[in-house]
Amino acid sequence: MKIFFLASSILSADFARLGDETKKVLDSGIDMVHFDVMDNHFVPNLTMGPMVLRSLRQYKIHADIDVHLMTKPVDNLIPQFALAGANYITVHPESTDHLDRTLDLIKFHGCKVGLGFNPATPIGFLDYVMDKLDMILLMSVNPGFGGQDFIPSALEKLREVRKKIDKSAYNILLAVDGGVKVNNIANIALAGANVFIVGSAIFNSNNYQKTIRNMRDELDSVSHGVIH
């Protein structure tokens, strides 16, 4: 059986009640929290900083938090988010002039290492840094805003990266971020993902628990080879 993880992108949550919303989605069955950091430079939006992450930890949010840094430059933020309570820190190749050094910096500060790829970013970078990674994140929308539609070409990219992981000797999670919904999560899983970052599909629903349960049912069908 395949093991799948659901991560909640709190970018789509009600920021006026961020602590409560995060706790609610975790209580509804989410495995981990995805924390999108945007700087209005690397991507066209401005979101959350280390103080917000620290506040969530002080609010007794104990789940793993993946901090997705969509910022440039990026290195100066890594120790700040590590200190604030990140478990994973994910960066993009375009955000640093020295990717190998940046990945080492994440590890040095005690966090698991993620590498993210925008829809048109080639995956060739992986050939040189696979040994440093705990997670590979493929964007299935252009980063910046929640609620976008899934880009179909991301499925082929997922298949290519899954082959690279399977051929390697490394235990690396493969995450997909953007446009993940109940009606496409099974196909995304079949393409090779095992971490599904979900935002608006949950936070815009009337019943978080029911939406998450429906997603789990779809993933269970993949695990057991019975596709709905």
DSSP secondary structure letter of residue 150: P
Q: Tell me how far apart the alpha carbons of residues 65 and 86 are, in angstroms, rounded to a whole number.
A: 5
pLDDT digits (tens, 9 = 90+) for 90-100: 999 999 999 99
pLDDT digits (tens, 9 = 90+) for 193-211: 999 999 999 999 999 999 9
The pair of three-digit structure tokens given for residue 35, joined into one six-digit string: 């924390």
For position 228, what pLDDT does the model report? 54
56 versus 146: the higher-pLDDT residue is 56
pLDDT digits (tens, 9 = 90+) for 44-57: 999 999 999 999 99
Active-site amino acid positions: 36, 177
Average pLDDT over every residue of 92-114: 98
Q: Tell me how far apart the alpha carbons of residues 158 and 215 are, in angstroms, rounded to a whole number.
A: 19
Is the bond preceding residue 73 a cis peptide, omega within 30 degrees?
Answer: yes
